[in-house]
Amino acid sequence: MTQKNAGVRPAFVSRPEDPMRSIWKGHIRFLLVAIPIRVYNALEASERIQFNQLHRDDFGPIGYDKRCKKCGEIVTNDQITKGYQYEPDRYAIVEPEEIAKIKIKTTRAVDILGFVESSEVAPMFFDSPYYIGPDGPVAEKPFALLRQVLKDTGKIGLAKVVLRDREDLVAVFPHDDGIVLQKLRYPAEVRKVEDVPEIDAAPKIDKKELALATSLVEQMITTFADIDTVDHYHEALRKLIDSKIKGKKVTEFEKYEEPPRMDIMTALKKSLQASSRKPMVKAAPTASKKKAALTLVKSKAAPAKKRKVG
């Protein structure tokens, strides 16, 4: 069923691919080297099927306050239906019982379809991670066997499983003493990196600049454990909430730091000179780390002068 006499046009139509639009502009920065960049969403939102809530009487869209945007009436749940918008103001009406009929039958099993090299699954396909553990003593030995064979072969299993209502593509691979079930995005949901504007430019790389950049990277090599991985926004938000609970006002904020403007060769040379310390690493804990504070000290009174008599 379609709303507004949609005719023979199908609900799924081929849409011209829109050029990527950046969602953020800034810099990639390491020490004094700052490279201007734009950030693009790698997910293809148009491939996801999303339904609109519609008023059954006039097929008007429903707002957050359950008010029909067409007639202005506040509606109840039984007056709401779902519709897939395939053209502006045109919907394919889909009833809940029709959706229920196409739910994937669950077998309560992670069905491994095959094993592949880990390099075949690009990081942008990763979605939500889950941990797998054995279900009781009887499962401990086969669980350990699967974990060990995955470690020894370096392969990851690609599988399908119905965790809720839809069928998910997942990767199965070992991590320490456990196994990870990594939910994956389907290939149609991920945009091609070739579609990023200006990525195919091939400027000539200066050998001296490349050598300096390589030296800088080598001097900045560290371990993940030494990197500052603290969520500072979360900490600041928690501090704000704690201050509000205690009835204090918080007005502190950090100013944006503009990266210095210089050519790449100068930036590389200055960065190498300043790279004796590793950036973004955890500070070593000290026994007596005191917070800087402002101390008010009374000034000493000047000695009184003796008055001459006579």
In the predicted model, what is the mean pLDDT of residues 55-60?
91
pLDDT above 90 coverage of the chain, percent: 29
> 160: closest CA among 83, 102, 108?
108
Strand ranges (E), 123-211: 126-132, 155-162, 167-175, 178-184
Residue 13 pLDDT greater than 50, yes or no: no
pLDDT score at 132: 92
- The arithmetic mean of pLDDT across residues 243-262, rounded, is 67
Model confidence at 74, in pLDDT bands (50, 70, 90)? Answer: very high
For residue 12, is pLDDT > 50? no
Residue 12 lies in a domain: no
Tell whether 201 is covered by a domain.
no
pTM, 2 dp: 0.62
Q: Domain of 230?
A: 207-273
Do 147 and 214 lie in one domain? The reply is: no
- Picking from 79, 101, 123, the residue at the C-terminal end of a domain is 101
Enumerate residues 6+ apart whose C-beta is below 8 A from 196.
20, 40
CA–CA separation, 78 vs 65, rounded Å?
A: 15
CATH number at residue 185: 2.40.290.10
pLDDT tens-digit map of 261-310: 767 777 767 777 776 555 445 555 544 444 333 333 333 444 454 454 44
Q: Which of 74, 101, 128 is the last residue of a domain?
A: 101
Residues 95, 31: one domain?
Answer: yes
Per the prediction, the chain carries an average pLDDT of 79
135-144, 191-200, 247-256, 275-284: which has the minimum mean pLDDT? 275-284
Q: What is the pLDDT of residue 253?
A: 55
Residue range 129-141: mean pLDDT, rounded: 92
Looking at residue 163, its pLDDT comes to 82
Residue 57 lies in a domain: yes
CA distance 207 to 205: 6
How many structural domains comprise the chain? 3
Which residue, among 68, 90, 98, has the nearest Cα to 80 in the 3D structure? 68
Residue 111: its H or E element: strand 111-117
> Per the domain annotation, does 2 fall within a domain?
no
In a domain, 165, yes or no: yes
pLDDT of residue 62: 92
Domain assignment present for residue 3? The answer is no
- Tens of pLDDT, residue by residue over 205-235, are 889 889 988 888 888 888 889 888 898 889 9
Residue where a domain stops, chosen among 128, 160, 189: 189
- The top-scoring range by mean pLDDT among 17-21, 87-91, 276-280 is 87-91
